[in-house]
Amino acid sequence: MLKGKETTIYDIASQLNISIATVSRALKDDPVVSKKTKKKIFETAEKMGYRTNYYASNLRKQQSNTIGFMVHELQSNFINSVLAGVEKEATAAGYDLIIAHSQENYEREVANAKNLFHKRVDGLITSLSFDTKNLDHFRPFTEKGVPIIFFDRVESGNDHPVVVIDNYKCGYQATRHLIDQGCKKIAHVTSNLARNVYTDRFRGYRDALAEHDLPFDDSLVIIGDLSEKAGMESARRILDIHPRPDGAFITNDFVAAVCIRTLKQFDVAIPGDIAIVGFNNDAIGHLIEPALTTINYPGKEMGEVAARSLVNHLKGIGSLRQIDRIVINADLIVRASSLKKVDGPR
């Protein structure tokens, strides 16, 4: 970016003996410029290797054409699906993306938010960290009127639109499915119950139990982070329960996969002894054995919807102000790991 003088609209203008205003207009395809001059301008721009200086343009226009994407973790299948969706829509609409990840850490999230604010993103798409306590760090955005869309892990009761799935329903469905399969004692392996996604799934689990006259038992709820270690520990915790549960609803496919592996090592038959339902529909789900029953959580669609809504708002096509939440479809995918009644494939 340093070598060789950059061509500017001044260069094009003087080359063609016209004014910079005309060049500027032509370059943005303003219909007010005649076809002929436009053509000349485009040609010489091309010839002279002109490239727009977005810094000058943004400075002048007072907008950044940039969307911030701040998430708790980048190395996650789900988040990456979302990112792919966001990237697709944002690029299509001519927006850049600045990404920041908080490594599940509140302090870092605050720092990232500050940074994105200073970078003057036009809008923000974000999912909260594990231990995010409050939303104060988003206040500057609100004050400047920078729209924020939360997805997946969201905080209830704020003014920002939210893109989510119906976690309650999914939790209910998953548990209900296990009950339908004849499970009487269903463990629930999950994560930080302060986060909406997990509370809602938990409520679904509880209500499904209640509606089918199964007792809720606190000791069946196993909480951990989403690590492999936590998965193995959860499996051991399940093994320590007597009598042993005959079903488990695990709110993360990776953890479910680790659990299944560990349980099998202890000669527990899946689904025979314990039927298992995961969550997310990661690729691992149908590669492990038995194939994992799970909830399909369509990240890419979620990203597309979030980005599209944000972009439309920014462009003045429709507003986010009227929107409280957008709920994306998510469904149960039944595979072998939960099928007690019918024989699974193979």
Which residues contact a second copy by CB under 8 A?
A: 1-4, 49, 51-56, 58-59, 62-64, 74-75, 77, 80-81, 83-84, 87, 91, 96-101, 115, 117-120, 122, 140, 143-146, 254, 257-258, 261, 264-265, 283-284, 286-289, 300, 346
**Chosen from DNA, a second copy, none, partner binding at 120 (C-beta under 5 to 8 Å by type):** a second copy
Structure tokens at 101: 């990840």
**Chosen from a second copy, DNA, none, partner binding at 99 (C-beta under 5 to 8 Å by type):** a second copy
Q: Are 234 and 189 in contact (CB under 8 A)?
A: yes
Q: What is the rounded CA–CA span in Å between residue 57 and residue 55?
A: 5
Q: What is the rounded CA–CA span in Å between residue 53 and residue 88?
A: 23
**Chosen from a second copy, DNA, none, partner binding at 221 (C-beta under 5 to 8 Å by type):** none
344 to each of 122, 201, 267, 272, 289, how far by Cα in Å? Answer: 50, 26, 18, 10, 11
Residues in the interface with DNA (CB under 7 A) total 30
What's the min distance (Å) between Cβ of 4 and a second copy? 6
> For residues 302-321, which are near DNA according to CB under 7 A?
none
Sheet holding 275-277, edge to edge: 221-223, 186-190, 247-250, 275-277
| Options 43, 59, 139, 272; binder of DNA; rule CB under 7 A | 59
CA–CA–CA angle 5, 8, 11 (5° rounding): 90
What's the min distance (Å) between Cβ of 215 and a second copy? 32
Q: Are 194 and 129 in contact (CB under 8 A)?
A: no
Phi and psi torsions of 67, nearest 5°: -115, 135
What's the min distance (Å) between Cβ of 6 and DNA? 5
Q: How far from each other are the two terminal CA atoms of the chain, in whole angstroms? A: 60
Q: What is the rounded CA–CA span in Å between residue 70 and residue 62?
A: 22
Q: Is 114 in the site for DNA (CB under 7 A)?
A: no
172 to each of 40, 80, 201, 270, how far by Cα in Å? Answer: 65, 26, 7, 21
| Comparison of 62 and 322: residue with beta carbon closer to a second copy | 62
For DNA, what does the binding mask look like between residues 16 and 55, x meaning CB under 7 A? -xxxxxx-xx-xx--xxxxxxx------------x-xx--
Q: Is 14 in the site for DNA (CB under 7 A)?
A: no
Q: Which residues bind DNA (CB under 7 A)?
A: 6, 8-10, 17-22, 24-25, 27-28, 31-37, 50, 52-53, 56-57, 59-62
